[in-house]
Chain A
Amino acid sequence: MTTPPFSDEVLVAARAQAMELDLPQACVAGVISNTHVLQNYAALVMDFALPDTCEPAGDYTP
């Protein structure tokens, strides 16, 4: 059995609830739209295989 993908609307509502973030109604459509854009970028980054030894660039220097 496969889980159906979340819609961006459901995703935004769930994330806001988890953060106890009360999204004003005026924001909802815009946040969903921006979340959709970010989800596409996130897919690119998450699908890129990195070696386990590749650390986050928290101490980043150019």
Chain B
Amino acid sequence: MTRFASALGIAQDIRSGKRSAASIMQAVLSTINQHDAAIHSVTHLFAQQAMEQARAVDARLARKEALPPLAGVPFGVKDLFDIQGHVTTAGSIVLRNTPPAAQDAAIVARLRTAGAIPVATLNMDEFAYGFATDNAHYGITRNPHDTSRMAGGSSGGSAAAVAAGFLPLTLGTDTNGSIRVPASLCGVWGLKPTMGRLPREGAYPFSASLDVVGHFAGTLDDLMAAFYIMADSPAEPEPQNLRAACLGGWFAQNLSPALAAAIGRVCQHLGLSGTIELPQTPTARAASFLITAAEGGTLHLPRLRAAAEEYDPATRDRLLAGAMLPASTYVQAQRFRRWFRQQVHAIFEQVDVLIAPAVMCEAPRLDDPTVIVDGKPASARANLGLYTQPISLPGLPVLCLPLDNTGTLPLGLQLIAAPGREAALFSLARKLEQAGLAGRCPLNAQQAA
């Protein structure tokens, strides 16, 4: 059984000779070919190359060579990471005639060095500008837990492919929540590392001030192992006796009853009472929004002047509006960013990990894409980032944790730490996993068949 297998489990099976890398790759490709039509997570399969690389792993094992830690492990990439020899479109058609990538993106190369094999590119909002993975050119990615619902975005294909059990590990990017929102809606583990901790080379940019590359996994162990490989650093010890606190105020409003109850159980288990409030949270969200719009718009302006009609209309209009923002607005947003960072860093003198919701509710329906904000239905696309956008501004590491045993469709939490303290996130996540409060949300039997 390959579907839903973990990356570390696959690597162990290959290393021990229990299964060949080729048989695993064949099974992965077969599963995707058979089941992806229902959710549309994949935009391109590297079937032939992946099989060749899997056979090469088997040949190394036959020669009794030592295998690297992820030898033979299949993974997928959001369709904005360079794969050598493949055109990187970033979910667009306007880039489809650009030259193929001369080399892999940096974190793809590090995974390859560790033996992992890229299998597929995965669907996304065009140029990563959205929370829906509703792409005018490549279609809508649907939630594997309920295909009538949104997978979230912009790395929706990456989250859905893990949730559906196609791939144990996928890459994504997060500017305003593009890993955390789909991880939450699809019920998988997601990590937005500290800004700058993983190299961005070879990832098509969106907003240079905020873009972070990261990943999704079906297990916490896979999430951690892949992180340290991509960071090119040894695994750090998980600190104990962490001081945690829940964020209140903005982050305690608009929660669905099921999510509020789940957060209550987490707080009870950790013995937390009271909350901490981030200062000026609505302004932090606004600054993040403005910086993204201005930088994304400016990046695309020359191409929009020449070929606006080749853009997804929704992306195009957002980018054009952003390109026309006054410099004073952008600079003020960057000044606020510095101020906000100082306030947030001061909070981390009192606590090690902050806990906040990732998205306010279960995945919205595709035919009724709304969420409840201030008691009224509001656009899901405009509000799915309500809790992730303010956290993007200070560049902190954030782990998106799938809540377990909620009795609902997937719900997620953000665990937030000071810069460089990913190990603290892993430690608290482990504690919640061991308590039965966190873990990948299983598909029901019919969906997993």
Contact = CB atoms under 8 A, between A and B. Distances in A.
Interface string A35-59: 1011011101110101000111110
A24 B282 contact: no
Interface residues of A, number: 33
B68 interface: no
A12 to B, nearest CB: 7
Given A21-B305, A41-B287, A50-B332, 19 more contacts: A15-B324, A30-B314, A31-B317, A34-B317, A34-B320, A34-B321, A37-B321, A37-B382, A38-B322, A40-B286, A41-B285, A41-B286, A42-B290, A45-B332, A57-B335, A57-B337, A60-B341, A62-B396, A62-B419
A57 B338 contact: yes
11 contacts: A15-B324, A21-B305, A26-B313, A35-B321, A38-B289, A41-B286, A45-B329, A48-B332, A60-B334, A60-B395, A61-B419
Contact of B324 (A12, A45, A62): A12
8 tightest A-B CB contacts, nearest first:
A30-B317, A62-B395, A34-B321, A62-B419, A41-B286, A56-B334, A15-B324, A44-B286
Interface residues of B, number: 46
B335 A50 contact: yes
Contact of A55 (B282, B308, B320, B338): B338
Contacts of B324: 12, 15-16, 19, 21, 31, 35
Centre residue among A22, A24, A34, A61 by max chain B CB count within 10 A: A34
A23 interface: yes
A23 B321 CA distance: 11
Contact of B320 (A27, A45, A57, A60): A27
Contacts of B336: 45, 48, 50
Nearest to B209: A60
Contacts of A60: 209, 334, 337-338, 341, 395
Contacts of A46: 328-329, 332
Given A50-B335, A55-B335, A42 B329 contact: yes
B317 A24 contact: no
B341 A57 contact: yes
A24 B311 CA distance: 12
B199 to A, nearest CB: 15
A57 B209 contact: yes
B100 interface: no
Given A26-B313, A62-B396, A41 B289 contact: yes
B57 interface: no
Contacts of B394: 62
Contact of B308 (A27, A45, A56): A27
Contacts of B334: 56-58, 60
Interface in B223-270: none
B49 interface: no
Contacts of B328: 46
Given A38-B322, A45-B336, A57-B334, A62 B317 contact: no
B365 interface: no
B333 interface: yes
Nearest to B195: A62
B195 A45 contact: no
A17 to B, nearest CB: 10
Nearest to A19: B324
A40 to B, nearest CB: 8
B318 interface: yes
B283 interface: yes
A58 B308 CA distance: 29
A31 B320 contact: yes
A27 to B, nearest CB: 6
A23 B316 CA distance: 11
Nearest to A11: B324
B331 to A, nearest CB: 5
B62 to A, nearest CB: 46
Contact of B331 (A16, A33, A56): A56
